[in-house]
Structure 1
């Protein structure tokens, strides 16, 4: 808005700024549905489609909690206060509870056939919504908010050391399963912090791209460093694909390597991701935009350090996986299909 009101832009540049503002606003609205939709599908996976609304309501209340009603003895009036959102923690808890509750109610509440539509379209949704409202208001929001508030206070009080500890933890959770459920959970935690401008998403964004780049790089360096090809034939073209996907922000390109030899791939890209992301955070790289790879690079502060962290992590990943595979091959514990 400051740029729009500065009067320095006109014509195409002004139109571009307006489009950027629209994209930011639209993206913010869409991102607000991430946790509610996550909770809805978790509840749906447990209790079926009847649990979907309850999960969505619980997820929405975890990000936009109902205000708490308190009596102020000083003014002798009832006042409302906004509690700390329980965010991902609250959404996860309520989605599981709601899923099992709806599943149980659907089994236990037996009505005549002519009331079946009433049961599925009105009774169960109303009962589950009331339960979610009460559970979130009295139990889950206070508990989850207390945990979130404590974590934020601890990280803020710890200053730089806290930021580095957070970077290491969120990196490990992001990299470990390459886009799997642990990765997604880490994403919700990281994005909840950037929503309130507590901690940037730098470490997570770097951790997404290091594993595929590092493992892809290993397929280019193994023969040069050891004089022998250390990967199965089909992994060489997949290595190039993994590197390309990494620049699109997709870490799943590294999955074939992790499946083929988890004992060599997973420790390698975990170490590389942690070292690379922590290095970048330590030297001051900052990213608030909730996206990874080239889509976010124009918005990164200290981009040179950011790229250096990615390269450092990728090189460490490549060298470590080459070393481990070479040692296992020499010990006769690794079979390699030749080209």
Structure 2
């Protein structure tokens, strides 16, 4: 039976959820481009997004309790969607279902009942408790909170919106795919889920709103700016980097274009105290510029492919370019006159390039 590690379990759930977010959002954006909410493409995207909370909850529960936790988690996540608790409800439901299944699996049973425990008794009891609690106790107040939260984000204006964008931009880049990065991204997802009321039905499942979509754009350009800055720095002054770093730079460019901020890890791992502040500055500038430009994104992931759903595309691209350029400038200034001083360090860290 897996041990309880909530942080690891939540990250596992999020990693399984992201393909549904990416594909669902892009399909909805493509459907809107083809003619509104009626086309088949938009409906397929809505179906994918409708599964967001169940998949998140199911795999969180699975990570905590193993196979006996999968069915209770999926059911609790579906209950969260039905009640309108959305993503946040899925997260709570998955943790609850997983802990219940884990603890129930430790209850001593007679020999003749042990064979039934893993595939019948534990899932049955855990589903009744976690699913029932989500439908009757947890879901309704969470749904109210999501509506209030989405409305609060939609009502942000002026300095408050810019400061929030700057903070999330810095968090997105601070640990390059770690807990702060995930927290910023999930904050944006929670906002758009609250604004869109994902529990309104399959055809209404979506990421719809005003200010929340601007926040989504801000987080995405911040996450893209860091690896793109690393690539840009190696292109502008290749003599400052070793061949291994230049290869890492090309990989970072591709990953950055896809909104995979981990592409900057090989550079940050070598000289974190210098590289990360430069990348954070670029992320803050990109996010703030995107918010000021009024850029929005309907698709919550996908990088360049998400541009199909962008509003104020010129402002979004300009903010991304500005943030990446500033971060690249900071990286180049920190390199000084050349690469020889850092050659030994970079050679020892070259194995990180495959991450």
Q: Same fold (TM over 0.5)?
A: yes
Out of 226, 233, 236, the residue aligned to residue 211 of structure 1 is 226
Matching residue of 2:128: 130
Find the counterpart in structure 1 of residue 307 from structure 2: 297
Contact 1:155 1:162 in 2 (8 A): no
Alignment of 1:47-126 (within 5 A): 47-65=65-83, 85-113=84-112, 115-126=113-124
> Quick check: 1:25 aligned with 2:37?
no
| Structure of greater Rg | 1
How far the C-alpha of 1:295 sits from its partner, in A, is: 1.1
Deviation of 1:163 after TM superposition, in Å, equals 3.3
Report how many residues are paired. 299
1:117-159, Cα deviation, whole Å (9 max, x unpaired): 4322222111111111233245432553454344334333433
Distance in 2 (alpha carbons) for counterparts of 1:247 and 1:106: 44
TM-score, normalised to structure 1, is 0.76
- Kept in 1, the 8 Å contact 2:233–2:328? The answer is yes
| Partner Cα distance (1:184, 1:61) in 2 | 24
Report how far residue 183 of structure 1 moved.
Answer: 3.7
Q: Which residue of 1 aligns with 2:17?
A: none
Confirm or deny: 8 A CA contact 1:233 1:337 kept in the other structure. no
> 5+ residue gaps in structure 1?
1-15, 66-84
8 Å contact from structure 1 (residues 88, 189) kept in 2: no
8 Å contact from structure 1 (residues 111, 119) kept in 2: no
What corresponds to 1:317 in structure 2? 327
1:158 to 139, 156, 159: 156
Contact 1:154–1:162 (CA<8 Å) still a contact in 2? no
Matched, 1:263 2:273: yes
Match of 1:141 in 2: 139
Say which structure is richer in helix.
Answer: 2
Q: Quote the Cα distance in structure 2 between the aligned partners of 1:167 and 1:300.
A: 17
Relative distance call for 1:190 and 1:64 in structure 2 (3 A) is farther
1:53–1:182: structure 2 CA closer, same or farther, 3 Å change rule? farther
CA-based RMSD of the aligned residues comes to 3.3
Q: Which moved more, 1:211-220 or 1:178-187?
A: 178-187
How big is the shift at 1:287?
A: 1.9
Give ranges in structure 2 of 5+ residues lacking alignment. 1-33, 197-207, 351-355
Q: Structure 1 CA distance, aligned partners of 2:160 and 2:136?
A: 31
SS of the counterpart of 1:108? coil
Among 166, 173, 176, the residue aligned to 1:168: 166
Alignment of 1:183-222 (within 5 A): 183-195=181-193, 196=196, 197-198=208-209, 199-200=212-213, 201-222=216-237
